[in-house]
Amino acid sequence: MGNPPTGSIEALVSRTSVSLPTLWKVVWAVTSILAALILGLLGMLYQGAKAEWVAMRADVRLLQQQVAAQPTASQFQTLSNDVRGLDARLRSIERVVYGGDE
């Protein structure tokens, strides 16, 4: 066969030998990069979940305030009685003004 070409990739590969420490450094670098990427992804997921949690807590507080602003059963009964009283007074005024029910 002859001498292998000196400027080709095949020649570079045939002359290069990878020792165990070099291979260990490559594996260590790859796993370190993957670990950093995984931690970055987990951090982003955590921040998204935290933001969603804060938004949900704000929604719950708003709903609690709206429920607290609603009348109680006794207050609602009082308002209902007031409306019935106003309705009765309005009907009596209509009878006087219009001379009958309409």
pLDDT for res 7: 65
Residue 19 has a pLDDT of 74
Q: Burial letters for 77-100: b for 16+ Cβ neighbours within 10 Å, e otherwise?
A: eeeeeeeeeeeeeeeeeeeeeeee
Span 77-92, average pLDDT: 93
pLDDT tens digits along 3-47: 655 667 777 667 766 677 888 888 999 999 999 999 999 999 999
What whole-number percentage of the chain has pLDDT above 90?
53
